[in-house]
């Protein structure tokens, strides 16, 4: 059995790091029009996951018991066009996360409700023939950091925009072992929250 699996893996070949798609959509009441579908993403991370543990010292030597999952942040980088549309979009998304309220003499930032500003992020790993090999869908996502874009008289490189996102959890789909039902199942579960408009956006990005 192990030999047959090894042979099958050799036939499919390695996954190339430069074959991927990234799509992001705002799903909150303050950012539902935001989409990065047309932006050129040059790098992206498939985030990892670990577990918080609690110590169990009863009945013998101590042992660590997995308690709840901890998800790594999502990192990505975009090419910047000369109208800075990519940075504007991410800043608009960040702007939906809080609001500035003034009383005439002073003011303060106030965080909005979580459902007002979160979104979804979809990362797909592709084969050389553009077949989807793997999907990772991050939910309740939002941008926590816009990186520095450095200008230089000595460089002719295209300017890039790095971003970091947090999210609540992710769903993964391994296309060789499971049917193509990750996105459909997710949208069916949350259709009352996101509605048909988001379903269309995600299906456009995938299909």
Whether 60 is covered by a domain: the verdict is no
Q: Report pLDDT digits (tens) over 71-130.
A: 999 999 999 999 999 999 999 899 888 877 766 666 677 788 888 889 999 999 999 888
- pLDDT band (50, 70, 90) for residue 27: confident
Whether 197 is covered by a domain: the verdict is yes
Whether 123 is covered by a domain: the verdict is yes
Task: Choose between 190 and 26: higher pLDDT.
Answer: 26
> How many structural domains is the chain composed of?
1
What are φ and ψ of residue 135, in 5° steps? -130, 145
Q: Which whole number is the average pLDDT over 30-55? A: 84
Domain containing 79 equals 22-48+67-94+109-206
Whether 54 is covered by a domain: the verdict is no
Q: Which whole number is the average pLDDT over 8-12? A: 63
| pLDDT (0 to 100) of residue 191 | 44
The Cα–Cα gap between 34 and 89 comes to 7
Task: Give the residue from 137, 143, 131 showing the smallest Cα distance to 187.
Answer: 137
Whether 101 is covered by a domain: the verdict is no
Whether 14 is covered by a domain: the verdict is no
Q: Is the pLDDT of residue 146 over 90?
A: yes
Residue listed under structure tokens 């990772």:
136
Domain with residue 170: its CATH number is: 2.30.110
- pLDDT band (50, 70, 90) for residue 34: confident
Whether 100 is covered by a domain: the verdict is no
Strand 132-146 versus strand 160-166 pairing type: antiparallel
Whether 184 is covered by a domain: the verdict is yes
């Amino acid at each position: 059995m192990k030999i047959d699996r090894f042979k099958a893996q050799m036939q499919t070949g390695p996954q190339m790091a430069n074959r991927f798609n990234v799509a992001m959509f705002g799903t909150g009441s303050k950012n539902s029009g935001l989409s990065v579908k047309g932006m050129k993403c040059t790098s992206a991370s498939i985030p990892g996951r670990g577990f918080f543990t609690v110590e169990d010292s009863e009945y013998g030597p101590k042992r660590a018991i997995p308690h709840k999952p901890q998800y790594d942040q999502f990192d990505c980088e975009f090419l910047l066009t000369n109208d800075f549309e990519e940075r504007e979009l991410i800043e608009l998304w960040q702007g939906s996360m809080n609001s500035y309220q003034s009383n005439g003499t002073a003011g303060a930032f106030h965080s909005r409700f979580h459902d007002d500003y979160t979104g979804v992020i979809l990362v797909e790993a592709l084969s050389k023939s553009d077949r989807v090999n793997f999907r990772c869908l991050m939910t309740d996502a939002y941008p926590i950091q816009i990186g520095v874009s450095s200008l230089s008289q000595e460089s002719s490189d295209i300017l890039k925009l790095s971003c970091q996102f947090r999210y609540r959890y992710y769903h993964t789909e391994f296309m060789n072992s499971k049917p193509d039902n990750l996105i459909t199942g997710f949208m069916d579960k949350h259709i009352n929250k996101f509605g048909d408009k988001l379903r269309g956006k995600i299906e456009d990005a995938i299909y």
